[in-house]
Amino acid sequence: MLNQIETDTIHLSPTAVQAVRDLLAQRNLDEEHALRVYVAGRTCSGLQYGMSLDNKPGETDTTFEMDGIKVLVDNISIQYMHGSTINFVNDERGKGFIVENPTVLPACDCSGGSCNS
């Protein structure tokens, strides 16, 4: 059964909400589609995140809605994302989604080209 909850675990900035709305409209996707957010791995600079548009929530997914945008997070990823904010930037460095996670520190020091955990 899908866990549908209201949560303060993950926040979407207003620019992220608008970017998801724009993506849904560009791809002609209906309101059944959600933003899926997940932890894709870990590097020495911290966690790596993945995102996709998905309309098939899994049985153990947590789902919530922010400003009309549905968000899906699997039960493992949500453990690492408490307090995270998803933002969308479009500036001179490029454009895309950024996950700002205040609880995750870099795993090691990569200065000098080597990782020492």
pTM: 0.79
Interatomic CA distance for residues 81 and 101, integer angstroms: 7
pLDDT recorded at residue 113: 52
pLDDT recorded at residue 53: 96
Per-residue model confidence as pLDDT tens digits over 87-102 = 999 999 889 999 998 8
Q: Which domains does the chain have, with CATH numbers?
A: 3-104 (2.60.300.12)
Angle at 13 between CA 104 and CA 49, to 5 degrees: 40
* More confidently predicted of 112 and 84: 84
